Amino acid sequence: MSGTVTSPAPAVDLFAPVRSRIGAIVGLAAVGAAGTVVPLVAVVELARTLWPAVEGLPVDTGRVWAIVAVAAVALPASFAATWGSIMVGHLADARLQRDVRTRLLDLLGRLPLGWFGRRSSGSVKKTVENDVSALHHITGHAVHDLVVAVVVPVLSLVYLFATEWRMALACLVPLVLTIVLYAAMMAGSRDQLVRYDESVERLNSATVEFVHGIAVVKSFGQGRRRHAGYATETDRFLRFYRGWMGETATMQTLVEVVTAPAVVLAWLAGSGAWLVGTGTVAPVDVLPALVLGLGLTAPLLQLGYTGQSMRGALQARDSVVRFLQQPVQPQPDRPVQPVGSVVEYAGVSFGYDDTRRVLHDISLTCRPGTVTALVGPSGSGKSTLARLLPRFHDVDDGRISVGGADVRDVATAALYAEIGFVLQDAHVLRTTVRDNIRLTRPDADDEQVEQAAVAARIHDRILRLPRGYDSVIGADAHLSGGEQQRLTIARALVTDAPILVLDEATAALDPDSEAAVQDAVSALAVERSLLVIAHRLHTVTGADTILVLDGGRITERGTHDELLSACGTYRDLWVRQERVRERSPEPVVSGEPGAAGVNR
């Protein structure tokens, strides 16, 4: 095998594309925050400048007008800078969301197909949609709020200590109390958030289970019991949430009391009155604390109000980073082009983790124009073996080749041009029937689409839809499971891949649908290499080679007649299935005599 591009999980910097804009947010927010302090300082300085007039002394009118001019410039500049900071923040958020979603979608395109089978669409949606949306708070609000929460108190305290340090110390008391109370309130919040997420997940699972299973449980008279289970989980969540909110509500109330303007004003006025009464400070020196002291805790209070959103945004950031650090499927640095369509497994072994092997030393060959069937007990490794061919996963040991080229050395696009697959669960998109069929080959014309539909025995059903091939699945086109399966077979036919993998395409279908799907499968077998996973043995009696898997090993191989004569696992499976069929005879279905798919 030639070299492949592999590397450890890279470090991920989500905010690299908007780093310069975050710098602009910080700068503008700092200017805006300073601009809110300057007018207050101007009021104090104006009072201090005019104070001599109270004592009948002359006033420096030039200084008065200079102070007024500074305040007149600072106030609109503050508004403009604050508006600019918020605007740049939201523009940066839009850029960040586009970049992160693009990176996530690119990653999804480079992950091995087997990755998707181990995860629900809901978990992917949570990362790609919910978590990315939650990042909005960081760039859109948190950076601006954090800068304001730092700049306003710092500038105010610098001025207060420069004018009267004793009153500045009095101003520090509410500020320090606020910080201490917030720290106490947030202690253990990370663990509580983890418990909250776990509680919500359990509640969601109980809700989904109850809603989806209500028809079944009610039919067996178990509706009350299942409802009790849902109610128990709801009560458990409410007890946890009530306890958590009860703990934080007391601290939050104390914070709001300490930071309330009336309380802060009373404290500063009392402190100032005591200092003036003792002759320590002049009355005019109390004014700076009374004017600026009220605004010291307000930015911190704003951060507290948005703390939950900030914690959620940070959790979302960590979730997105972990998602982006997942290893992608290795790609060849020097791709090889297959020559022909012979499939060969040579000494293949594979396990989903390091502790348990699923397949052991598998060797087989599939040649063009032949059908190779994989049969065996549930859990024997049939699906895993078949899905290694289109690289749902990569083998641990051995080699899988197509046309003499190791599948790991073939570029992804070239590999999927050689291999098509129809899985047990048909996947159709909410788009037109026509686009669903030519999903893997967008340039296919209408004639090619219809020819594939005819071969897949789905053309007549499509014509009965309200708008034929232009009907949208899920809107004005509603297809049964068997019809959807035939649609995916038509999709495989349009692809015109010389190798096809069919993973129990008829396992869950009724006899009529099975007969139609098997007719469609017959069309695939012409001049192609077919690797078929069979649950119902009677559907593969005509296969060129039947491989029996048991415990992840090929224990028997041969034709149907040869395996029956061998009196091994295959014969045991055949006898058991025939007994079931005799007890539950299938209705006679219309179709060609050889409609058993590979029974040619």
User: The CATH number of the domain where 379 resides is what?
Assistant: 3.40.50.300
**How is residue 340 written in tokens?**
């022909």
Residues 6 or more apart whose CB falls under 8 angstroms from that of 232 comprise none
Q: Say if residue 464 is in the same domain as residue 504.
A: yes
> Residues 420, 320: one domain?
no
Q: Is residue 46 in some structural domain?
A: yes
Residue 353 CB neighbours (<10 A): 7
Longest dimension (CA), the chain: 125
Cα separation, 411 vs 206, whole angstroms: 44
Residue 358 has pLDDT above 80, yes or no: yes
State yes or no: pLDDT of 326 exceeds 70.
yes
Q: What is the pLDDT of residue 432?
A: 92
Contact 463, 477 (CB under 8 A): no
Query: What is the edge-to-edge ordering of all strands in the sheet holding 397-402?
Result: 359-366, 343-350, 397-402, 405-406
CA 159 to chain centroid: 49
Residue 548 lies in a domain: yes
Which among 129, 46, 34 is positioned nearest to 75, based on CA atoms? 34
pLDDT band at 112 (very low <50, low <70, confident <90, very high): confident
- 197 vs 205: CA distance, rounded Å: 12
**Across all residues in the chain, what is the average pLDDT?**
81
Answer yes or no: is 192 within a domain. Answer: no
Positive or negative, the Cα torsion across 371, 372, 377, 380?
negative
pLDDT score at 555: 92
Task: Please write the tens of the pLDDT for every residue from 224-242.
Answer: 455 666 777 788 878 877 7
pLDDT at 220: 47
| Tokens 């025995």 belong to residue | 457
| In a shared domain, residues 446 and 513 | yes
CA within 13 Å, CB half, 442: 0
Q: What is the pLDDT of residue 348?
A: 93
Question: Are residues 89 and 146 in contact, defined by beta-carbon separation less than 8 angstroms?
Answer: no
β-strand partners of 402: 343, 405
For residues 370 and 330, give the distance between their C-alpha atoms in angstroms, rounded to a whole number. 31
Q: Is 473 among the domain residues?
A: yes
Total count of residues recorded for the chain: 600
pTM: 0.69
Q: What angle do CA 443, 523, 573 make, to 5 degrees?
A: 130
**Helix orientation angle between 481-495 and 446-455, rounded to the nearest 10 degrees:** 130
Q: Tell me, what's the pLDDT at 158?
A: 92
pLDDT of residue 123: 67
358, 324: one domain: no
Token couple for 155: 């500038």
Predicted pLDDT of residue 253: 79
**Which amino acid is residue 412, in one-letter code?**
T
In a domain, 1, yes or no: no
- pLDDT of residue 62 exceeding 80, the answer is yes
Same structural domain for residues 71 and 111?
A: yes
Taking only the tens place, the pLDDT of each residue in 127-139 is 787 788 888 888 8
Q: What is the 3-state secondary structure (H, E, C) of 287-316?
A: HHHHHHHHHCCHHHHHHHHCHHHHHHHHHH
pLDDT beyond 80 at 70: yes
pLDDT of res. 270: 92
Would you place residue 53 in the very low, low, confident or very high pLDDT band (cuts 50, 70, 90)? confident
* Domain coverage including residue 153: 10-164+306-332
pLDDT attached to residue 29: 93
Residue 364 and residue 400 in contact, taking contact as beta carbons nearer than 8 Å: no
**Residue 524 scores a pLDDT above 50:** yes
Q: In the prediction, which pLDDT does 554 show? A: 92
Question: For position 462, what pLDDT does the model report?
Answer: 92
222 within a domain of the structure (yes/no)? no
Residues 454 and 327 in one domain: no
Domain assignment present for 33: yes
Residue 519: per-residue pLDDT: 65
Dihedral angle computed from the Cα positions of residues 47, 48, 52 and 53, in that order, rounded to the nearest 10 degrees: -10
Residue 534 lies in a domain: yes
Question: CB-based contacts of 539: which residues, under 8 Å, 6+ apart?
Answer: 506, 514, 518, 596, 597, 598, 599
pLDDT of res. 590: 35
Strand partners, 499: 419, 529
- One-letter-per-residue 3-state SS of 203-253: HHHHHHHHHHHHHHHHHCCCHHHHHHHHHHHHHHHHHHHHHHHHHHHHHHH
Chain centroid to CA 483: 31
Considering only residues 183 and 500, tell me which one the structure prediction assigns the higher pLDDT.
500
How many Å is the Cα radius of gyration of the chain?
36
372 with 323, same domain: the answer is no
* Whether residue 139 sits in one domain with residue 69: yes
Strands 545-550 and 553-558: antiparallel
Mean pLDDT for the stretch of residues 460-488: 88
Could you report the per-residue pLDDT of 401-421, keeping only the tens digit for each?
998 899 999 988 888 888 888
Residues in contact with 25: Cβ distance below 8 Å, sequence separation at least 6, in sequence order: 85, 88, 89, 92, 139, 143, 144, 147
Per-residue confidence band for 589, with pLDDT thresholds at 50, 70 and 90: very low
Residue 64 pLDDT: 86
- Tens of pLDDT along 84-95? 999 999 999 999
Residue 347: which pLDDT band, with cuts at 50, 70 and 90? very high
Portion of the chain with pLDDT greater than 90, in percent? 22
Q: In this predicted structure, what is the pLDDT of residue 3?
A: 44
Q: Which residues contact 529 (CB under 8 A, 6 or more apart)?
A: 341, 342, 343, 366, 367, 368, 369, 370, 372, 498, 499, 500
Which amino acid, one-letter code, is at 35? G
pLDDT of residue 480 exceeding 50, the answer is yes
Q: Are residues 474 and 549 in the same domain?
A: yes
More confident site: 432 or 216: 432
310 and 403 co-located in one domain:
no
How far is residue 385 from each of residues 77, 533, 551, 554, measured CA to CA in Å? 69, 10, 12, 11
Question: CA 434, 439, 443, 446: dihedral to nearest 10 degrees?
Answer: -20
C-beta separation of 33 from 284 below 8 A? no
Instruction: Give the per-residue pLDDT at 402.
Output: 92
Mean pLDDT of 106-125: 74
Residues 6 or more apart whose CB falls under 8 angstroms from that of 259 comprise 174, 178, 297, 298, 300, 301
The count of domains in the chain is 2
pLDDT of residue 304: 67
Residues 513, 575, single domain; the answer is yes
CB distance 456 to 490 below 8 Å = yes
- For tokens 């029956």, name the residue: 564
Does residue 434 sit in the same domain as residue 311?
no
What's residue 209's pLDDT? Answer: 64
* Local confidence band at 141 (pLDDT 50, 70, 90 cut-offs): confident
More confident residue, 426 or 390: 390
Tokens of 297: 């805790």
Of 208-217, 259-268, 430-439, 557-566, the range with the lowest mean pLDDT is: 208-217
Q: Which residue do the tokens 């604050």 mark?
A: 82
